[in-house]
Amino acid sequence: MAALHKGGRHGDGSRRMSRGRSNQPPGEAGEPISDFIRQLEAELPYPPRVRDQVIAEVRDHLESLAARELNDRYTRPEAEARAISAFGTTEDFITRFEQQGGPTPADGSPSLGVGASVGVYVALVVAAIVWTPAREAWPAIVAAAAVFATCLSPTRRNLGPLIGGAMGAILGNVAIAHYIAFRGAGPVAPNVEQIYVWSMVIGACVGMLVGLVPRLRRDPSPLLWATVFGIAGHVVARLWLEDSPSLTSLATLATGLVLGTALGLHRIGRRLLPLALGTMIGATGGTILIPLSFRLGLPAYVSAGLILTISTIVGLLGGAATATATRRRLPHAPPT
């Protein structure tokens, strides 16, 4: 890997610059670095975000090499060609990544873990919808269909955060459908069983977030933190719904928090984080928007439509943001 040679750099410049097979003979006119970058971009087997970052680094490196060669009175094309000659071929570069544990084609792409967790969430959603009278469930069903169609669009390559946001939007909208179905003449408590399921899911999501926070991994009582945060948030939401939380509901929430935190502490929680946060944001958004729509005096289905749209957007954004922050700890995109 490293050729260890004594001797000055510029004195042996030709030695260094001849290492590696040249992609273009020195002195050939054109834009060798741009051509090299185009070739590398076509050959790098990584998702777009990873590929863009690697390309930016390689371009910067080649330009720095070329700038050094310009100081030795080579022309610009010659300097670029010598830089590429020293850097090596695109094949060598990609091979080094594969051999030395660099990015893999799977980075930034959906994983089997995401697929499995989506299946679990879908099962929960189906279970929740089953408890909704069919005539009142259509807003949630329509929203679910629309969001899934967006997620499966061929223009989106990374389904993880979108599916996470979609799950959040779906659960939030299922909660809305239940609330509308049972509200009667005014705001009333939604279906009790659905609240228990919803509380457990929310608690699990909060628990996973807590379990994944690095400093809380060293805390001997992460479950305590998860319970405090989760219950506080749930109580606030339930009070805003003009309903006081029952002991059963809180117990369900605590159960979800325990399970979620356990998942968060386990490595599988990292893969589920986009789904967890997207779900929590979407469902919490629905919780906040329900009483707001009633206070505004909007007709039931008009308010449902507004809430569907807002919670869907919030859920999608939340899922995408968390997926970006957690996947392989990739840094921010290069400035444009």
Partner 1 sequence: MPDELAKGHLDLLLLAALENGPLHGYGLIEAIRASSDGVFDLPEGSVYPALHRLERAGLLKSSWSESGGRARRRYSLTRKGKTELRRERLEWRRFTKAVGTVTGAGG
Residue numbers at the binding site for partner 1 (CB under 8 A): 1-9, 16, 19-20, 53-54, 56-61, 63-65, 67, 86-88, 92-93, 96-97, 99-103, 328-329, 331-335
Q: Are 149 and 315 in contact (CB under 8 A)?
A: no
Q: Which residue, 63 or 136, has its beta carbon nearer to partner 1?
A: 63
In the bound state with partner 1, the residue whose beta carbon lies nearer, of 18 and 150, is: 18
Give min distance, CB of 62 to partner 1, in A.
9
Shortest distance, position 35 Cβ to partner 1, whole Å: 16
Residue placing its CB nearer to partner 1 in the complex, 61 or 183: 61
Give the nearer residue to partner 1 in terms of CB position, either 19 or 157.
Answer: 19
Least Cα distance to 287 among 225, 245, 336, 333 occurs for 245
Q: How many angstroms separate the CA atoms of 322 and 317, rounded?
A: 9
Q: Nearer to partner 1 by C-beta: 44 or 320?
A: 44
CB 24 within 8 A of CB 81: yes
163 near 151, Cβ under 8 Å?
yes
Q: In angstroms, give the least distance from the CB of 91 to partner 1.
A: 12
State in angstroms the smallest separation of the CB of 274 from partner 1. 18
User: Can you tell me the distance from the alpha carbon of 171 to that of 140, in angstroms, rounded to the nearest whole number?
Assistant: 8
Two tokens, residue 322: 């968390």
Query: Taking the complex as a whole, how short is the minimal distance between the CB of residue 172 and partner 1, in angstroms?
Result: 34
Distance CA 316, CA 153 (A): 14
- C-alpha closest to that of 279 among 169, 120, 161, 128: 169
